[in-house]
Amino acid sequence: MNKTFLTFLVTVGTVIGSGFLSGKEIVVFFSCFGKISFVGVFIAFFLFWGLFRFMLGYGERAVARLKTSKFSNILNILICIVLAAAMFAGSQELIVFTGPVIAVLTIAIIIFLCFYIIKHGLGSLEKANLILVPFMVIVLLISEILLLINGGKQTITIPSNFLSLYYGVLYVILNTANSGVVLAHMGQSLNRKQKARVSFLSALVLGLILLVTNIVLLHSPESFSMDMPLLSLFSGGHKVLMQILILIGCTTTLFSIVFALSNSLRGLIKNEKVVLWLSVIFPFAVSFLGFGKIVAFFYPISSVLGVFLICDLFLLPFFKQAYKKIHSTCKKAK
């Protein structure tokens, strides 16, 4: 299978989790700011593109930095715990109505698969995303477009707020910080052209989904207060299909997050069994705070932590390398 395509799927699958597919993230970071949120979406596309390209390009240095920097590992652990907890919480909300037996069995399967991903690494992560991500993206876009067509024309009444531009940046930082460790590892096996293609295609797909979802939500502001705003707009069979999509989104993102979390825990803890259990069980315990609360309150905080993580993991090695080149050039000139 083409390495470019597999990396593209993992990148998209890492970002599109329960917060994204349920619409909660989109409401918090974009839709609640009105029409100006479209500018935020536009900014998000270019930031995703640039940061994905940068992270893939400096993957080897970032991985090396992660092995030596306790600061980066601690930051990544905190961010991953929040995001993994949200994915677990989202999964629980989606399956709670299926009955206790099916709900417990589903969560048990998800936890088992998390353990499997941690033990078997990137290869298993790529296989998991190969089927799930294309299905998820295609069905989501078709469902949203049909919802817009059937809903008719409506006026967007939410007042514009330029904070959307700031929150759009925070949103990208949160999701790239989350996927940064995975991208750093995957970037080591790609050439320059492959990295360029992956970064552009990933940003394009994410930007398109952000745009369509934002349009849908802005036409239904009554959904903003819901834990899963987008899901609340569907009914009957379409709602069941959306629940399945969100559950898939939870699992694809969760797999990437626990993989990244386990890598950072290994930088602090040498016992592999302890790493394995902490990577899954601790976020699962935190998930009982509730999906809505985690996304609304802890995601913005994680975005700020993501700024420091990206700086320490990617920018610091970049500037160090640039300084060495300048210093070497000056020596030769003398």
Q: What range does the domain containing 58 cover?
A: 3-333
Nearest to 72 by CA among 323, 314, 302, 333: 314
DSSP string over 164-203: HHHHHHHHHHHHHHHHHHHHHHHHTT--HHHHHHHHHHHH
The region that residue 181 occupies, defined by phi over 0 for left and psi between -120 and 50 for alpha, beta otherwise, is alpha
Length of the chain: 334
Please list the pLDDT of the chain residue by residue as tens digits (334 residues): 578 888 888 888 878 876 688 888 898 889 888 888 999 999 999 999 998 988 888 777 777 777 788 888 898 899 889 989 988 988 888 887 777 888 888 889 989 988 988 888 777 777 777 878 888 888 889 988 888 888 756 666 677 777 778 888 888 887 787 677 777 777 778 888 989 999 999 999 999 999 999 999 988 888 888 878 888 888 888 888 888 888 888 888 888 889 889 988 988 888 988 999 999 999 999 999 988 888 888 888 888 888 888 888 777 776 766 666 666 766 666 5
Any idea what the CATH number is for the domain that residue 120 is in? Answer: 1.10.4160.10
Query: CA 332 to CA 48: how far, in whole Å?
Result: 38
Q: 3-30 burial, b for 16+ CB within 10 Å, e for fewer?
A: ebbbbbbbbbbbbbbbbbbbbbbbbbbb
Say how many domains are in the chain.
1
For residue 166, the Cα-to-chain-centroid distance in whole angstroms is: 18
The whole-angstrom separation of Cα 47 and Cα 308 is 16
Do residues 72 and 309 lie in contact, with contact meaning Cβ atoms separated by under 8 Å? yes
Say if CB 111 and CB 255 are below 8 A apart.
no
Q: Where are the beta strands (DSSP E) in the chain?
A: none
Evaluate whether 229 touches 158 at the Cβ level (below 8 Å): no
